[in-house]
Amino acid sequence: AGMGRGGMGMMGGDFGGGGGGVDFNELEVVMERFMWQSYPQYLQNTLFHSDKLEMLRKKTLQDRLTKAYEFKAKGDEKIEASKPREALVQFELAYGLFKYCEKKGRKISVVDDSKAARELRREQGRSDNSSDAFTRFWLQVDELVCSCLVMISHCSLLLTIPNCEQAVAATTEALEVKPDHPPALFRRSQAHAKLEQFTEAVNDSRAAFHSASGSDERVQRHLYLHMRRLVAERRKHSVWWRVVGFVEDAVARYGVLVAMFFCALVFALCAVYYLRDGAHTNEEGGDELSRDADDGWMDNSVTDEG
- Which of 161, 192, 210 delimits the end of a domain? 161
Contact between residue 109 and residue 102 where contact means Cβ atoms under 8 Å apart? yes
Q: How far apart are CA 24 and CA 40, in angstroms?
A: 27
Residues 118 and 145 in one domain: yes
> Is there a domain that residue 70 lies in?
yes
Identify any residues that bridge with 102 across adjacent strands, giving them in sequence order.
Answer: 109
> Is there a domain that residue 29 lies in?
yes
> Is there a domain that residue 114 lies in?
yes
Residues 199 and 105 in one domain: no
Residues 34 and 154 in one domain: yes
> Is there a domain that residue 271 lies in?
no
Residues 78 and 198 in one domain: no
Q: How far apart are CA 94 and CA 97, in angstroms?
A: 6
> Is there a domain that residue 170 lies in?
no
pTM summary value = 0.73
Q: How far apart are CA 95 and CA 74, in angstroms?
A: 13
pLDDT grade for 302, boundaries at 50, 70 and 90? very low
Write phi, then psi, for 251 (nearest 5 degrees): -65, -45
> Is there a domain that residue 79 lies in?
yes
Number of structural domains the chain divides into = 2
Tell me what pLDDT residue 87 has.
Answer: 98
pLDDT grade for 301, boundaries at 50, 70 and 90? very low
Contact between residue 181 and residue 211 where contact means Cβ atoms under 8 Å apart? yes
Contact between residue 247 and residue 263 where contact means Cβ atoms under 8 Å apart? yes
Tell me what pLDDT residue 297 has.
Answer: 37
pLDDT grade for 22, boundaries at 50, 70 and 90? low
Angle at 11 between CA 8 and CA 13, to 5 degrees: 105
Residues 70 and 106 in one domain: yes
Residue 97, amino acid: L
Residues 197 and 117 in one domain: no
Q: How far apart are CA 265 and CA 278, in angstroms?
A: 20
Residue 5's Cβ-side half-sphere holds a number of Cα atoms within 13 Å equal to 4
Residues 37 and 153 in one domain: yes
Residue 64, amino acid: R
pLDDT at 193 over 90: yes
User: What is the domain range of residue 208?
Assistant: 180-260
pLDDT at 3 over 50: no
Q: At what angle do helices 239-254 and 256-305 cross, to 10 degrees?
A: 140
Residues 49 and 141 in one domain: yes
Residues 48 and 119 in one domain: yes
Query: Which of 100-104, 169-173, 198-202 is predicted least confidently?
Result: 100-104
Q: pLDDT tens digits, residue range 211-238?
A: 998 888 999 999 999 999 999 999 888 7
> Is there a domain that residue 32 lies in?
yes
Nearest to 97 by CA among 111, 77, 76: 111
41: buried, middle or exposed (CB in 10 Å: 19+, 13-18, 0-12)?
middle
> Is there a domain that residue 54 lies in?
yes
Q: At what angle do helices 84-95 and 61-80 cross, to 10 degrees?
A: 170
Tell me what pLDDT residue 254 has.
Answer: 62
Residues 154 and 187 in one domain: no
Identify any residues that bridge with 111 across adjacent strands, giving them in sequence order.
Answer: 100
Residues 156 and 48 in one domain: yes
Q: pLDDT tens digits, residue range 42-67?
A: 999 999 999 999 999 999 999 999 99
Query: Which of 133-137, 231-235, 255-259 is predicted least confidently?
Result: 255-259
Residues 184 and 120 in one domain: no
What is the DSSP annotation of 246-291? HHHHHHHHH-HHHHHHHHHHHHHHHHHHHHHHHHHHHHHHHHHHHH
Nearest to 114 by CA among 133, 150, 141, 90: 141
Helix locations, the chain, DSSP H: 2-10, 24-38, 41-48, 50-53, 61-80, 84-95, 113-123, 133-158, 164-177, 182-194, 198-211, 217-237, 239-254, 256-305
